Amino acid sequence: MPILDLQLIGPLPDEVRRDLAQRIADAAGRVFASRPQGTWVTLHFIPAECYSENEGGPPAGARPVIVRVLQAEPPRGDALAQEVGHLTEAVARACARPVESVHIIYEPPAGGRIAFGGRLRM
């Protein structure tokens, strides 16, 4: 069960924001080949003034999307690189932002350390 947690920095037009979590969940579900209700997405909207980069950044107009991905066992090697490419494109398209603004962080494997409804998943 992939879980995605996204932080979207800066303004987002209402028409893009509308149903965004569902559009990302559906697109990510296709990337991960998940069963229905098998990919979870949470969104956090961060005002531009609450984001910065060291030494005077970010560049003017920067609106990054930071995606954290939690999976029982993430793919490796070429399979991971392929998944990253598809997921980056899907998130960028849904958020109406360039792929260069989407940054994906894969969490350590979740197998054996996450409990859903009180049941530890191995």
pLDDT tens profile 34-71: 999 999 999 999 999 999 999 987 888 889 999 999 99
Residue range 93-106: average pLDDT? Answer: 96
**What are the structural domains, with CATH classification, of the chain?**
3-50+61-121 (3.30.429.10)
For 9, the enclosing helix (H) or strand (E) is strand 3-9
Rounded Cα distance, 85 and 82, in Å: 5
What single-letter amino acid sits at 94?
A
Question: Would you call 61 exposed, middle or buried from its count of C-beta atoms within 10 A (0-12, 13-18, 19+)?
Answer: exposed
Which amino acid belongs to residue 32? F
Residue 122 DSSP class:
-
